[in-house]
């Protein structure tokens, strides 16, 4: 059956003479489907009185509701069909026999209480009863509801957007439009638009319509496109216009239009572009090379310095996978460190050698939510200098070892030579003295004077040999460095010169002295030589010597001041050289080795020694010794020295 009204023209009325309410159903058939009994028809067929009493029904009517035939026969038609107003409308009595009409969609109440949708049609029979045909439309109704939902949902979306949507036919008459378009046109035109209005008659200015007509014609020609329009009055505004041909069987029936305000996104894009340009200017101006990759190692930026250093144009690498381009770097330290920075989200800084270019690079990589940013610069020259400096250090260390061995040999030679020279000198001195004692009365004054010269020469030679031996030993590590109280050493040295201090009437002033880590023997030598010089080179009426120290932070500065003859500035460096004397040996005794020994000892203690003097008014000798952490024990220091 094509529709619900068709069965009424096909149904055979009961035979005349039927006494059961005028209905004989044994041979009831539909003419449209000859020779098929109505019990075999899938639609439900029910015959009922005008009061709703069910007189006859086919098997389909009972089975679709879940009632047995006996139960179904006892029902009233209104027990089955429901509507929003209650009972189904029945034909009026005065309607002519054979009149037919469609009630429409109704809900059948099944025995178990579940509803079922049916399309209900009713016909008046000649005997005054009614014939109802119910077709199950549950599945079709579900599909229709789905279509209705989709349609309503689409309408809601279209009418609740701020974008303008409308469509026109091939004659540029409005087919439909959404709420936003209607409101916009009302605000512009001051009136409501009607469907069917020609877009040329809605009142827009000629310039606007001229451009829009071009767009409409392009769409009606089958083109699907989007254009962006800009206006600067009263404020800068960008509008994105999209046009889509409406097609039916490849025939264009009109065009659907969409207008969207993209001002905010354009302004945001402009700001982003400006920020990008600014950042790019910064990245291009820095001296370091720079590149960035995303989380998938795709290169997103490559500055000019990176182009220059790596000889890689940015056009050849931006947008490409970094490790595809630099596949020969997967075995380098960079590969490991870049992945560590990305995986652990930590900054990494390192140096790496890239074999294909034969260059060294200093690299720092910073992880971010977007990926990895890498700054690097070439340090090949620096690394080559460092390598050369290492190599040089190795040579110097080797040379130092050679010199150390040589110095040890020289020290041994000096020690042995001094002993070997002292023996013949003692012999010469002894025999000359015996000669003087035995033959003095027999020799004239000249001979006696020669003997005196020979004895004095031998003694000077002996002192010189002893001083040379002392110089060779000065500054050696044979005397280990320990914590040393300088006050004790000063007192010991002054005790050594007590007779001379008393005889010369020298005034001694000693300040509080610190403890230092040094060789006690060698520090005694330094103090002894400096105090000896202060006593020796002093001709003032009241000789004065002042000994003290100053705390200079990481080191102590010691001083020994006198008011003696002083030293000319041009001799400041010379006095520390071995055998350098500033005065005649007849005026001041000595070999010129004492200050050289002081310098050698202070140098070996990593300190400095110098002179501050004013000729004729006095001299100050100053030297420094570095401080050592007081928590270090003497045993530790001894071990280090060893």
Question: 112 to each of 71, 74, 169, how far by Cα in Å?
Answer: 13, 17, 53
Strand partners, 166: 177, 257
Strand partners, 251: 248
Q: Is the pTM of this model over 0.75?
A: no
Q: What is the DSSP letter of 76?
A: B
- Predicted confidence (pLDDT) per residue in 542-578, tens digit: 899 999 999 999 999 999 999 988 877 766 777 776 5
The average confidence (pLDDT) of the chain is 77
User: Which CATH number do you get for residue 360?
Assistant: 3.30.450.20
Determine what percent of the chain is predicted with pLDDT higher than 90.
24
The phi and psi torsions of 108 (rounded to 5 degrees) equal -95, 130
**3-state secondary structure (DSSP) of residue 190:** coil
- Number of compact structural domains in the chain: 5
**3-state secondary structure (DSSP) of residue 538:** coil
Same-domain pairing of 44 and 17: yes
Is there a contact between 614 and 566 (Cβ–Cβ < 8 Å)?
A: yes
- Predicted confidence (pLDDT) per residue in 145-178, tens digit: 677 676 777 777 778 888 999 999 998 899 888 8
- Predicted confidence (pLDDT) per residue in 236-254, tens digit: 888 899 999 999 888 999 9
Highest mean pLDDT among 186-195, 276-285, 475-484 belongs to 186-195
Is there a contact between 489 and 441 (Cβ–Cβ < 8 Å)?
A: no
pLDDT band of 464, cuts 50, 70, 90? low
Mean pLDDT of 245-274: 84
Please give the residue range of the domain that contains residue 236.
161-265
- Predicted confidence (pLDDT) per residue in 414-453, tens digit: 666 666 666 777 777 787 778 777 787 787 888 878 777 7
pLDDT band of 365, cuts 50, 70, 90? very high
Same-domain pairing of 213 and 257: yes
pLDDT score of 242: 93
Angstrom distance (rounded) from CA 284 to CA 305? 7
Buried-state track 215-254, b at ≥16 Cβ within 10 A, e below 16: bbebbbeeeeeeeeeeeeeeeeebbbbbbbbbeeeeebeb
Q: Could you tell me the two tokens for 274?
A: 């400006």
- Residue 387: which residues within 8 A CB-CB, separation 6 or more? none
**3-state secondary structure (DSSP) of residue 155:** helix
Among 49-58, 171-180, 402-411, 429-438, whose mean pLDDT is lowest? 402-411
Angstrom distance (rounded) from CA 590 to CA 532? 11
Same-domain pairing of 372 and 387: no
User: Which CATH number do you get for residue 611?
Assistant: 3.30.565.10
Same-domain pairing of 407 and 542: no
Angstrom distance (rounded) from CA 73 to CA 263? 72
Residue predicted with more confidence, 347 or 464 = 347
pLDDT score of 103: 64
Reduced to 3 DSSP states, what percent helix, strand and coil does the chain have, rounded to the nearest 5? 45, 25, 30
pLDDT score of 386: 87
Same-domain pairing of 77 and 46: yes
Quick check: is 154 in a domain? no
Angstrom distance (rounded) from CA 81 to CA 419? 143
pLDDT band of 29, cuts 50, 70, 90? very low
Angstrom distance (rounded) from CA 248 to CA 254? 10
Neighbour count for residue 390 (Cβ, 10 Å): 10
pLDDT band of 38, cuts 50, 70, 90? low
- 381 has a pLDDT exceeding 50: yes
Same-domain pairing of 538 and 459: no
pLDDT band of 39, cuts 50, 70, 90? low
Quick check: is 601 in a domain? yes
Judged on CB neighbours under 10 Å (0-12, 13-18, 19+), 161 is middle
pLDDT score of 21: 39
Residue predicted with more confidence, 400 or 574 = 400
- Residue 113: which residues within 8 A CB-CB, separation 6 or more? none
- Predicted confidence (pLDDT) per residue in 307-320, tens digit: 989 999 989 999 99
Angstrom distance (rounded) from CA 533 to CA 589? 11
Neighbour count for residue 191 (Cβ, 10 Å): 10
Quick check: is 152 in a domain? no
Question: 607 to each of 147, 599, 601, 615, 631, how far by Cα in Å?
Answer: 99, 9, 9, 26, 21
- 623 has a pLDDT exceeding 60: yes
The two beta strands, 371-378 and 289-294, are antiparallel
Among 143, 169, 199, which residue terminates a domain?
143
Same-domain pairing of 482 and 593: yes
- 232 has a pLDDT exceeding 80: no
- 492 has a pLDDT exceeding 80: yes
- 125 has a pLDDT exceeding 50: yes
Angstrom distance (rounded) from CA 462 to CA 423? 10
Same-domain pairing of 82 and 229: no
Same-domain pairing of 497 and 597: yes
Same-domain pairing of 115 and 178: no
- 136 has a pLDDT exceeding 80: no
The phi and psi torsions of 618 (rounded to 5 degrees) equal 140, 170
pLDDT score of 36: 54
Quick check: is 149 in a domain? no
pLDDT band of 76, cuts 50, 70, 90? confident
Strand 225-231's sheet: what is its strand order? Answer: 174-177, 164-169, 251-261, 237-248, 225-231
Same-domain pairing of 446 and 349: no
Quick check: is 156 in a domain? no
Same-domain pairing of 580 and 529: yes
Angstrom distance (rounded) from CA 176 to CA 169? 10
pLDDT score of 579: 46
How many residues are given for the chain?
Answer: 642
Residue the block writes with tokens 């100050």: 620
- 32 has a pLDDT exceeding 80: no
pLDDT band of 91, cuts 50, 70, 90? very low
Determine what percent of the chain is predicted with pLDDT higher than 70.
73
- 203 has a pLDDT exceeding 80: no
Number of H helices, E strands in the chain: 18, 23
Strand 115-124's sheet: what is its strand order? Answer: 54-57, 44-48, 130-136, 115-124, 100-109, 81-82
Is there a contact between 364 and 349 (Cβ–Cβ < 8 Å)?
A: yes
Among 6-15, 76-85, 435-444, whose mean pLDDT is lowest? 6-15
Among 319, 349, 378, which residue terminates a domain?
378
Q: Could you tell me the two tokens for 77?
A: 């038609």
Among 110, 143, 176, which residue terminates a domain?
143
Is there a contact between 451 and 459 (Cβ–Cβ < 8 Å)?
A: no
Quick check: is 119 in a domain? yes
pLDDT score of 465: 65
Quick check: is 278 in a domain? no
Quick check: is 151 in a domain? no
Among 86-95, 274-283, 584-593, whose mean pLDDT is lowest? 86-95
């Amino acid at each position: 059956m094509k529709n619900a009204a068709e069965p009424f023209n096909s149904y055979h009325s009961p035979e005349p003479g039927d006494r059961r309410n005028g209905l004989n159903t044994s041979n009831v058939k539909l003419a449209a489907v000859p020779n098929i009994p109505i019990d075999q028809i899938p639609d439900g067929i029910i015959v009922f009185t005008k009061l709703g009493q069910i007189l006859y029904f086919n098997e389909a009517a009972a089975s679709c509701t879940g009632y047995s035939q006996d139960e179904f026969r006892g029902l009233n038609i209104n027990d089955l069909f429901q509507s929003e107003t209650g009972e189904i409308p029945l034909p009026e009595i005065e309607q002519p026999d054979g009149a037919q009409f469609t009630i429409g969609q109704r809900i059948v109440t099944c025995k178990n209480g579940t509803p079922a949708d049916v399309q209900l049609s009713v016909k008046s029979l000649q005997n005054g009863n009614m014939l109802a045909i119910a077709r199950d439309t549950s599945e079709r109704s579900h599909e229709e509801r789905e279509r209705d939902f989709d349609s309503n949902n689409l309408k809601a979306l279209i009418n609740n957007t701020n974008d303008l949507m409308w469509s026109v036919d091939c004659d540029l008459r409005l087919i439909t439009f959404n709420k936003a378009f209607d409101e916009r046109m009302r605000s512009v035109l001051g009136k409501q638009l009607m469907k069917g209005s020609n877009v040329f008659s809605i009142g827009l200015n000629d310039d606007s319509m001229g451009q829009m007509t071009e767009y409409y014609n392009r769409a009606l020609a089958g083109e699907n496109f989007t254009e962006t329009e800009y206006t600067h009055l009263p404020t800068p505004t960008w509008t994105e216009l999209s046009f889509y041909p409406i097609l039916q069987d490849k025939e264009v029936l009109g065009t659907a239009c969409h207008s969207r305000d993209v001002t905010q996104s354009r302004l945001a894009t402009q700001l982003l572009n400006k920020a990008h340009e600014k950042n790019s200017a910064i990245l291009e101006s820095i001296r370091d090379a720079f590149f960035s990759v995303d989380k998938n190692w795709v290169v997103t930026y490559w500055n000019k310095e990176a182009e220059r250093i790596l000889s890689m144009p940015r056009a050849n690498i931006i947008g490409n996978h970094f490790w595809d381009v630099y596949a020969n770097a997967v075995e380098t330290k960079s590969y490991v460190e870049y992945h560590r920075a990305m995986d652990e989200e930590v900054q990494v800084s390192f140096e790496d050698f890239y074999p294909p270019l034969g260059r060294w690079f200093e690299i720092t990589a910073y992880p971010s939510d977007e990926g990895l940013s890498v700054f690097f610069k070439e340090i090949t020259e620096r690394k080559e200098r460092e390598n050369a400096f290492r190599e040089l250090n190795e040579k110097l260390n080797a040379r130092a070892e050679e010199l150390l061995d040589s110095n040890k040999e020289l020290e041994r030679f000096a020690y042995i030579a001094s002993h070997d020279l002292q023996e013949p000198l003692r012999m010469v001195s002894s025999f000359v003295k015996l000669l003087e004692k035995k033959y003095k009365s027999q020799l004239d004054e000249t001979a006696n004077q020669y003997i005196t010269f020979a004895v004095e020469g031998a003694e000077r030679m002996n002192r010189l040999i002893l001083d040379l031996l002392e110089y060779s030993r000065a500054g050696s590590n044979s005397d280990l460095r320990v914590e040393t109280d300088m006050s004790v050493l000063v007192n010991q040295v002054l005790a050594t010169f007590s007779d001379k201090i008393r005889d010369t009437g020298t005034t001694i002033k000693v300040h509080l002295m610190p403890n230092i880590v040094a060789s006690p023997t060698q520090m005694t030598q330094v103090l002894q030589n400096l105090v000896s010089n202060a006593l020796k080179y002093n001709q003032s009426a009241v000789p004065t010597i002042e000994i003290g120290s100053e705390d200079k932070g990481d080191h102590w500065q010691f001083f020994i001041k006198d008011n003696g003859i002083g030293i000319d500035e041009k001799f400041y460096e010379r006095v520390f050289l071995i055998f350098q004397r500033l005065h005649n040996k007849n005026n001041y005794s000595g070999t010129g080795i004492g200050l050289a020994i002081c310098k050698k000892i202070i140098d070996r203690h990593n300190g400095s020694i110098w002179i501050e003097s004013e000729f004729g008014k006095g001299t100050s000798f100053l030297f420094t010794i570095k401080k050592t952490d007081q928590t270090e024990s003497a045993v530790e220091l001894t071990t280090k020295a060893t």
